[in-house]
Structure formats: structure tokens, C-alpha cells
């Protein structure tokens, strides 16, 4: 399956680290009311060989306090969701919508994030870690639970497309 990776998926990396006490204290001292409260960890993303390194957009669905790792909670769920949204090239707003209503377009990130949290993000330990697009793809290729979810997803998509085709054919018969 790795042969089908996009250029972004081949080159992307994700890096997390916990802020030092001094860095955290500085952020807290600079915090202004009304602004989001500073996070105790930062997660960056970029592409190998590229110079553009930036914070990974937080797809906030479970944790209002930010992304985390190393345990099975809401912060790791948001980190898993955010990594997968970036990996699949899904817009954060569309992923949030998919997680909040069944009427939204399906999202692979939303479908897989709890499994990715349980099998990968919840096991990241220490104050720093790094994952690559290749690591994410290897997980997709080897996780039995992720494979089962993907099969169900594609069956659902095929069924929805078939219903849409039938409806279009009925409409053209009029």
C-alpha cells in the first residue's frame, strides 16, 4: 500500500515535545484573557527537505486544552485526529463536522482516529517523539482494526454512490 502514498505523505513528519517549565511560565505570563490558554506541549509538522515547519493544526473535537500523548484520553484523541487529518489532506472543519453529525461528508481521519490513538498515540512516551508519513502508512497497512474500518468505510461509500446513481437514473427517466 505504501506505493500509493502522495508526495506529502511520503515527506511529512510530525514532532511533539513538552515545553520546559521556563517556556511554560513565559507563555502563561504572556497570556491575555480571551485568548486560548497556552498548551503545555507543542506539535510541529513539516516535510523532509523542506524549510516550512509549522504547528500542526489542532482539530479540536475532544480536548479543549490541546493535543497530548502517552495515555488514552481526550488530548491524545485530538492529536490522533489532527495527525490523520493532515496525513489524509482533510480540512479541520470538515473533520470536526464529520465527528459531530452523520450528515457531513465522511472523514477517514475521524473514522480511524480512536484506533490510531489506542495503537500509536497512546503509546508515545517521554517528553519528545517523532512520527513520519511512512510510520502512519505502516500502521494503516498492519493494523487489523484499521483495515476492518477501511473495508466498512469503502463499502459504505460504494453503497452511497450506488444509491446516488440509481436516484439520478430515476430522475432522468422522467
Domain range holding 134? 2-173
Q: Distance between CA 80 and CA 52 in Å, rounded?
A: 22
Can you tell me which residue has the cell 473514522? 111
What is the pLDDT tens value at each position of the chain, 174 positions in all?
Answer: 445 788 889 889 999 988 777 776 776 677 666 555 556 677 888 888 776 788 899 899 998 778 899 999 999 999 999 999 999 999 999 999 988 877 778 889 999 999 999 999 999 988 899 999 999 999 999 999 998 988 888 888 788 889 888 888 887 766
- Residue identified by cell 524549510 is 51
Structural domains counted in the chain: 1
- CA 28 to CA 39: how far, in whole Å? 9
Q: What is the pTM of this model?
A: 0.81
Rg (CA), the chain: 19
CB distance 52 to 46 below 8 Å: yes
Residue 45 pLDDT: 87
In a 10 Å sphere around its CB, with 0-12 CB exposed, 13-18 middle and 19+ buried, how is residue 71 labelled? Answer: middle
- pLDDT confidence of residue 158: 84
3-state secondary structure the chain: CHHHCCHHHHHEEEEEEECCHHHHHHHHHHCCCCCCCCCCEEEEEEECCCCCCEECCCCCCCCCCCCCCCCCCHHHHHHHHHHHHHHHCCCHHHHHHHHHCCCCCCCHHHHHHHHHHHHCHHHCCCCEEEEEHHHHHHHHHHCHHHHHHHHHHHHHHHHHHHHHHHHHHHHHHC
Amino acid at each position: 500500500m505504501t506505493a500509493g502514498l502522495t508526495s506529502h505523505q511520503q515527506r511529512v513528519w510530525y514532532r511533539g515535545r513538552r515545553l520546559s517549565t521556563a517556556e511554560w511560565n513565559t507563555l502563561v505570563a504572556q497570556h491575555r484573557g480571551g485568548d486560548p490558554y497556552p498548551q503545555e506541549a507543542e506539535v510541529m509538522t513539516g516535510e523532509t527537505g523542506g524549510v516550512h515547519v509549522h504547528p500542526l493544526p489542532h482539530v479540536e473535537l475532544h480536548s479543549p486544552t490541546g493535543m497530548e500523548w502517552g495515555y488514552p484520553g481526550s488530548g491524545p484523541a485530538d492529536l490522533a485526529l489532527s495527525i490523520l487529518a493532515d496525513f489524509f489532506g482533510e480540512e479541520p472543519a470538515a473533520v470536526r463536522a464529520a465527528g459531530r453529525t452523520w450528515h457531513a461528508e465522511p472523514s477517514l481521519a475521524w473514522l480511524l482516529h480512536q484506533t490510531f490513538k489506542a495503537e500509536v498515540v497512546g503509546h508515545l512516551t517521554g517528553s519528545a517523539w517523532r512520527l513520519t508519513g511512512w510510520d502512519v502508512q505502516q500502521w494503516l497497512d498492519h493494523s487489523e482494526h484499521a483495515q476492518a474500518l477501511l473495508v466498512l468505510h469503502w463499502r459504505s461509500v460504494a453503497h452511497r454512490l450506488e444509491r446516488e446513481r440509481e436516484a439520478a437514473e430515476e430522475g432522468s427517466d422522467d
